[in-house]
Amino acid sequence: MKTTRSPQQLRLRLSSLKRTYGKFIRDFPKCFFGGCSARLLGAPVLPPPPPRQSSISVAMRARQRRGVKRGDVASPGKDGTVSRTSGEHCSVSGGNGVACVDDPCQRVSTLSPRVAADVLASVFGGISARDIRQQAGRTYGNAGEVLATGVSAVLGAIGPLGHEDIFLDIGAGVGNVLAQVALMTDMRTCIGLEVRGDLVALGQNCIRQHLSNHPHLAIVEIRLANARDVLLSRQPPFCDATVAFANIFLFEEHTKLVVLQELGAMSATRVIVSTSKSCLRHRSTCSQPYCKSWNLEHQIEVRVSWKATPHPIYIYRKKLNLLHSPFIEIDFCFLSGRDAPTSQAGTLSVALRTWNILVLQHLFRCTHHIQSNHRSPAAAPPSELALLLSDTILTILCSPPSFGS
């Protein structure tokens, strides 16, 4: 590779890169290797890219992956392309034919972390550092991402994810995290928000070019928007996300506050993964609204692209709030004579409501017993309170609800 720089300039540049990414060249981000020969870098020779699949090959492969019968897939026409290969059906449309798989139980198989990392290298390997470099003075525009090993560690800490889950990536960049989640899990869809239009265009172009070879990527969607201006807790499809990944470490401070406030108010979300801690002065008696609803479950160190040392990732899981449970809400509606919400009342039986009412009545009797023997509940001895509490727990455990009616 020819260059106009002097040997001294090259040595200084290499020393600077080693201070940032470590002393081994193999640990550098792959975007540095996009325009260089693999032989000169000492890296193993990559196999040639697979030949482009024809429309008939795509249809056959979709049928083999789904395990459907031969008669369920019709061969497409000359210009057939895969339009969707996830969730409820896999359709190959274009030309004169349409192939449709209507079996929602059989989906495209997920990939292992190592295979997924190889696929990501082939999909986004053509993006160079020059393509994603932010403007001078705009740190919040940095395209830094969690590396593939870090995303695999995060997915392992979250636990199993199914087809009912929706993944939201705030600060998606070119969409490499979205693509890895789509490859390794059975998500329904993966949605990303990115403020830089050039990164959105790069990511969409890379995914579109490799969609025929990797149908998992059909569920990936990158949208151009500023997270500060989006009502994540109210605006669909963002409010329907069950897992949210907030890569907000390099965001402006006021944008971080807005994003964390919106994430904390999302009712459908059960797990939040963030590159920044939500409450820097958190304590057991913290009164912040976010801390009241979310519990810091894991803190792991992962490799990232914007610095050489590992970066902490914080995984929050929603706390179980019994006072806002639909069972309790329907019980009080039932006691007060008001109609319960239709969406909740239709899912519960009368037996379950009756069982909850019996438990509430037992608690009322315990309170009345304390007040009859003492002036106030605070004056009751701890031993008596403990006895009444254990009696209540035994009542709950020994009288389970009956779902027979």
Identify the residue with better confidence: 304 or 347. Answer: 304
Pick from 64-68, 170-174, 186-190: least confident:
64-68
How does residue 243 score in pLDDT terms, banded at 50, 70 and 90?
very high
Residue where the block lists tokens 């609803």 = 293
What is the CA 362 to chain-centroid distance, rounded?
A: 42
| pLDDT for 86 beyond 70 | no
What's the start-to-end Cα distance of the chain, in Å?
Answer: 78
Residue 189 has pLDDT above 80, yes or no: yes
Mean pLDDT of the 368-374 span: 60
Q: Is the pLDDT of residue 115 over 60?
A: yes
| pLDDT at 153 exceeding the cut of 90 | yes
Average pLDDT, the chain: 71
318 or 26: which leads in pLDDT: 318
Percent of the chain residues topping a pLDDT of 70 = 55
115-129, 259-273, 363-377: the lowest-pLDDT one:
363-377
More confident residue, 27 or 350: 27
Q: Using pLDDT thresholds of 50, 70 and 90, give the confidence band for residue 192.
A: very high
Assess whether pLDDT exceeds 60 at residue 44: no
Average pLDDT of 292-305? Answer: 87
**pLDDT given at position 331:** 45
